[in-house]
Chains A and B, each alone.
Chain A
Amino acid sequence: MNLYARHGDLVIEKLNTPVTGELKKGTDIVFAGDSSGHPHTLVGEVMFRRDGRRTFVQVPGGKPIELRHGKSDGHKTISLPPGDYEVRPLRERGDGSDRAVED
Chain B
Amino acid sequence: MTTTKVLENLTDEQEALLDKTADAYIADLTVSREPDMGAINRWLDIAYGLYDMPRPSRVEIAASPEAALKLASELTGEKQAYMDWCGVGDGGWVSFYDLFHQIGILTDEEATEITALRDFGKVAWDSVLLDECAIVIRRPLVLRLDDDGALHSATGPCIEWADGEKDFSYHGTWVPERIVMAPKSFTKDEILAVTNTEERRALGEIAGWQWIADRLGATVVDKWYDRSRRLRYELLSYGDGQKLLRKQSPELKNGKQPTYVEPVHESLKTAKAARKWQATTLTPAQCERDPELRYGVEA
Instruction: List residues of chain A with CB under 8 Å of any chain B CB.
Output: 1-9, 11, 35-38, 69, 71-78, 90-94, 98-99, 101-103
Whether the Cβ atoms of B172 and A4 lie closer than 8 Å is no
Whether the Cβ atoms of A92 and B262 lie closer than 8 Å is yes
Q: What 8 A-B pairs have minimum CB-CB distances, sorted nearest first? A: A5-B297, A72-B148, A76-B299, A92-B262, A93-B263, A90-B278, A73-B254, A73-B148
* Chain A proximity mask over B241-259: 1 for CB below 8 Å, otherwise 0: 0110000011111101000
8 sample A-B contacts, Cβ–Cβ < 8 Å, listed by A number: A1-B293, A7-B299, A36-B172, A72-B149, A76-B250, A91-B278, A93-B265, A103-B197
- Picked from A3, A38, A74, A75, the residue with its CB within 8 Å of the CB of B279 is A3
CA gap between A61 and B148 in the complex, in Å: 35
Whether the Cβ atoms of A1 and B294 lie closer than 8 Å is yes
- Picked from B196, B251, B277, B299, the residue with its CB within 8 Å of the CB of A78 is B299
| Contact status of A92 and B253, CB under 8 A, knowing A4-B297, A72-B172, A103-B197 | no
A contact residues around B243 at 8 Å (CB): 93
Say yes or no for B280: interface residue by CB 8 A criterion.
yes
B contact residues around A71 at 8 Å (CB): 150, 172
Query: Taking each of A38, A93, A101, which has the highest tally of chain B beta carbons within 10 Å of its own beta carbon?
Result: A93
| Contact status of A6 and B298, CB under 8 A, knowing A92-B263, A93-B265, A103-B197 | yes
Whether the Cβ atoms of A94 and B279 lie closer than 8 Å is no
CA gap between A7 and B172 in the complex, in Å: 18
Whether the Cβ atoms of A72 and B296 lie closer than 8 Å is no
Whether the Cβ atoms of A72 and B150 lie closer than 8 Å is yes
Whether the Cβ atoms of B299 and A3 lie closer than 8 Å is no
Whether the Cβ atoms of B197 and A9 lie closer than 8 Å is yes
Whether the Cβ atoms of A75 and B250 lie closer than 8 Å is yes
Whether the Cβ atoms of A75 and B252 lie closer than 8 Å is yes
| Contact status of A38 and B173, CB under 8 A, knowing A72-B150, A93-B265, A103-B196 | yes
Whole-angstrom distance between the Cβ of A57 and the nearest chain B Cβ: 16
- Picked from B172, B196, B299, the residue with its CB within 8 Å of the CB of A75 is B299
Instruction: List residues of chain B with CB under 8 Å of any chain A CB.
Output: 146, 148-150, 171-174, 195-198, 242-243, 249-254, 256, 262-266, 276-280, 290, 292-299
A contact residues around B264 at 8 Å (CB): 92-93
A contact residues around B295 at 8 Å (CB): 2-6
Q: A1-B290, A4-B296, A101-B262 are in contact. List 7 more A-B contacts (CB 8 A).
A: A5-B295, A6-B250, A6-B295, A73-B256, A75-B250, A90-B279, A91-B278
B contact residues around A77 at 8 Å (CB): 299
B contact residues around A38 at 8 Å (CB): 172-173
B contact residues around A1 at 8 Å (CB): 276, 280, 290, 292-294
Whether the Cβ atoms of A78 and B297 lie closer than 8 Å is yes
A contact residues around B294 at 8 Å (CB): 1-3
A contact residues around B195 at 8 Å (CB): 94, 99, 102
Whether the Cβ atoms of B149 and A76 lie closer than 8 Å is no
A contact residues around B254 at 8 Å (CB): 72-73
B contact residues around A4 at 8 Å (CB): 295-297
CA gap between A35 and B290 in the complex, in Å: 34
B contact residues around A103 at 8 Å (CB): 173, 196-198
A contact residues around B149 at 8 Å (CB): 72
Whole-angstrom distance between the Cβ of B280 and the nearest chain A Cβ: 7
Closest B residue to A101 by beta carbon equals B197
- Picked from A2, A9, A73, the residue with its CB within 8 Å of the CB of B252 is A73
CA gap between A54 and B109 in the complex, in Å: 52
CA gap between A73 and B201 in the complex, in Å: 14
Closest B residue to A99 by beta carbon equals B195
CA gap between A68 and B253 in the complex, in Å: 11
Whole-angstrom distance between the Cβ of A94 and the nearest chain B Cβ: 6
